[in-house]
Structure 1
Amino acid sequence: MATDFETEIKQLRGTMASVREVTDLDRLQAQMTELEAQASAQDLWDDVDNAQRVTSALSRIKAEHDKVIGMDARIDDLEALVELGTEEGGQEGADVIQEAERDLTKLKKDVALLEVRTLLNGEYDERDAVVTIRAGAGGVDAADFAEMLMRMYLRWAERHGYPTTVLDTSYAEEAGLKSATFEVKAPYAFGTLGIEAGTHRLVRISPFDNQGRRQTSFAAVEVIPLIESTDSIEIPETDLKVDVFRSSGPGGQSVNTTDSAVRMTHIPTGTVVSMQNEKSQIQNRAAALRVLQSRLLLLKKAEEDAARKEMAGDVKASWGEQMRSYVLHPYQMVKDLRTGHEVGSTSAVLDGEIDDFIDAGIRWKRGQEKSEG
């Protein structure tokens, strides 16, 4: 059946109208103008931290602005291509229409992904994200699974051109990771990756079992928004316990010969953050404090939400538990247990192709919020 380009293009333009309304291009343009003025100041690099904040913010806002403008231009190009193919007729026209159909398929997917951004309006959704992965039940397979998940998310970020910084890694003795923490620096990184929080399950023939038995293992993913200087989370020094130790790599191999790694404990809540990525103890302490503040900020919000739900008589459990299964044996399948979305290409998913899962998860979460509200 011939593609109804007129209807498809009309739907794309309608979706983009909603995207532009939520994105507010005028607001983005005003922010860009202000940041460009700050970036052109002669004394900008007198304060390195502020300079990096300004240039980073300018780069992100410009990318967000250009993405929307660029999508509108692609729809215009598609419309022109369809008109050209229709006018040409014959085999040449058919070839042009075939090219237009390929462009339409890719454009529909890209617009749908951009549309998901309009669903991210939570208080911290636009923030950078701090992701922590911890091995759960399953012994060495769980530690290996934790490392597989870390690679999956880092590859996902790489595919999108999002900068990442590994903040801390705790290696397991035989293979894999006990835990790892990394930042993803991108607009709406927390809102996008927040749907990945919860318990992930792996089913496979264990490469660590000499009898070749099937093993089920688990890993937990935590996603928190990165703290900003404007957030009011003050932590008294008396509430902190700070330990320093020597950084180490796989198998206990020394990374450096000084006690530069930092373990910071928030005594009232028992929250613990370890940091060993930076060269100096001072840098690791600052990074640990920032992640600790981020976790306490989210904890504070969760307590406030729980209090509101209790007053409203809502006692439902958290949506983030046992959220996805990765089955490598006896068949190949990755399935999200909340949305029902599933694919058979497990290798592609573990190589970072998780946009469809994230898209489905964000839409599902918004539906849950609407039904509860």
Structure 2
Amino acid sequence: MNKPITILFGTRPEAIKVAPVILKLREKNIPVRVIHTGQHAELADEILRTFDIKPDLRLEMMKKSQTPIDLLQRLLKSLPEWISAEHTGVLLVQGDTTTALAGALTAHHQQVPLAHLEAGLRSGDRSQPFPEEANRTLISHLADAHFAPTASARKNLLAENISPESIHITGNSVVDALQMIVKRSGHSVSEIRGKYSAEKKKLILLTTHRRENFGEPLRQIFEAVSELASRYRDLKILFPAHPNPNVQDLLHLLDHQPSIELIKPLNYLEFVPLMAASDLILTDSGGIQEEAPALGTPVLVLRKKTERPELIESGAGKLIGTDKQKIIEATEFYLQTMNHTGPAEIFGDGNTAERVVQILKEMNR
């Protein structure tokens, strides 16, 4: 009997993107072992409940005020007990988190074949995003199989002398997850907009949590959004406020505008329909850059650089940075043009998990 394929994750975005792969492996009765490091304990758990996935092992690595290097040290001490050539056929890691890097390093030293989901994303700047850009680059030079979401990601890997035979363009599994949620959602766009009193208003969804935006960039973002709310009375701006203290400490910049509503972070089953119901999304999230075009919602990216150039090239999004005036100008331009392009298969067609599982099965023979 083949040793199980092990899937390692620890954060909410990882959980969303590995969930379709886990479900597909189980559907095909392929032995799989799921390890949750707890890097994002409660946030990832919500996703697991949504997709009815129970980890085989929980490492509870989350510590208050932990730094990436603290977490990396603890993971490298713990993971070799659970990831070894003796009882791991293939290790799958996703993306660019500290959990993924620790898994890749462990697999290398334990001589376990390594597969990388969402391989090849690059911003070209190790500080944008930090530390993820360096994490994913390092993982690429340890992996045996690279599941690139797009042709552009494949091109990035080839430029780093990664073997062409090891690169597979599979699409991004976030689209698989998104389609599952859309099918389960019983709420119409009009119902969602009505819930937030936005029936006759333009609905803007704001999300921001990136480490590199903490401090002055986040202040500029909030001041821009506040100014927009003051200028345009026909706007409804929803902000699921991230619990990070760096975000919470600046919320006072928004609380004097009646058209800005601060809401609790939503679970994925609630958040996906809200993205679909919105007229525009302002975000510094990586995952939302992939999800929004699949739902047909335009997105303005609150970053200086993006590792997802396909969004910009397609016209489904625009990179605007964190300068207050640029945010205002870009949002005003969109509000005046209201250019909806409709859902687009930029990052996947919903069949990524099927492709990934087939390759994992071949690796584990």
TM range (shorter): under 0.3
Structure with the greater alpha carbon radius of gyration: 1
TM-score, scaled relative to structure 1: 0.24
Higher percent of residues as helix: 1
Greater relative contact order (Cα < 8 A, sep 6+): 2
